[in-house]
Amino acid sequence: MATSPDIRLPDEGAIVVVDKPAGMTSHDVVARLRKSLGTRKVGHSGTLDPDATGVLVLGVGRATRLLTFITGLPKSYVGEIVLGVETDTLDAAGTITATHDMSHVTEDAVRAAAAGFVGDIEQVPPMVSAIKVGGKRLHQLAREGVEVEREARPVTVTLFDVAPVEGEPGVYRAEVDCSSGTYIRSLALDLGRALGGGAHLRSLRRTAVGPYVVADASSIDQPIVIPAGAGLPHVPVVAVSDAVATEVGHGKVLAPDVLGLGVDDGDGPWQIHDPAGRLVAVSRRHRDGRIKPAVVLRGA
């Protein structure tokens, strides 16, 4: 399997941010990049539904180990919520399970109800999610016609703005900023029920994962490879000498002052860069106050 001649992977691996098209699973995107980049070492930082589009962040080569610093980042979405119709998948791909006359619901009422979901809330994951229960993913159980009790999970919604879609009564465009692990389709259903009926989600698009925004994303057919050293813009950089970089690359736990860090610099993580600007490791403060590499990419 050959790498595209236009793409060269750095030794420390790379981050790729793609704008996922509709109709592909996140695994489909991984498989496509494995072929075009010529490596089996490709992983993504968080599943995006097949019908959804937008930002999908992937690690390539050694940088797959950096995904742990990306998975938990907050997310941003835009989508449309259809009031009055519930489906078994909570989105437009599912079978209609219930309908409600919600023609009396006003725009002001929808906005007020949406505002009630801003903040720290409890959310029940949908049956079509990838969460495992008893060793099986919920979406696998759903395909078998099995529904199980799911515990509500704490999530945080920092923005939930809605506006009516012109010419489509009962349809609202929604903008959502939220913590990782928030299900927008569940948010749509909960909004509908808060208004005395039900709802489902359609045309979901993820516009951002932390600092990774859709405007900077590449297509899956022409992926842009970002060297690992430039692929974590939200993680502070600590530049060190070649000698210190060698010690870090061998996993040594070092005193903070060796890295130019102090007690007021927090617990990390920090990117440790060598003089050439290459990412050697991502380190955190150890339990004894020293700095320990959490992920080593070079020199190990």
pLDDT in tens, 110-140: 999 999 999 999 998 765 555 555 555 544 5
Domains and CATH numbers, the chain: 14-73+210-230 (3.30.2350.10), 75-209 (3.30.2350.10), 237-296 (2.30.130.10)
Q: How far apart are CA 172 and CA 115, in angstroms?
A: 14
In whole angstroms, what is the distance from residue 208 CA to residue 217 CA?
A: 10
Q: Where in the sequence numbering do the catalytic residues fall?
A: 49
pLDDT value at position 143?
A: 53
285 near 267, Cβ under 8 Å?
yes
pLDDT at 34: 95
Rounded Cα distance between 103 and 117, Å, is: 22
Q: Residues 6 or more apart from 1 whose CB is under 8 A from it?
A: 34, 35, 38
pLDDT at 149: 61
The pLDDT, as a whole number, for residue 141 is 43
Cα Rg of the chain (Å, integer)? 22
- 6 falls in which pLDDT band (50, 70, 90)? low
> What integer pLDDT is reported at residue 125 of this predicted model?
77
- What's the rounded Cα separation, in Å, for the pair 86 and 277? 52
- Going by pLDDT thresholds of 50, 70 and 90, the confidence category of residue 151 is confident
Of 93-102, 119-128, 179-188, 189-198, where does mean pLDDT reach its minimum?
Answer: 119-128
* pLDDT, tens only, 215-273: 999 999 999 999 999 999 999 999 999 999 999 999 999 999 999 998 889 999 999 99
Report the pLDDT value the prediction gives residue 192, as an integer from 0 to 100.
97
For the cut 80, the answer to whether the pLDDT of residue 18 exceeds it is: yes
pLDDT confidence of residue 1: 29
pTM across the whole model: 0.90
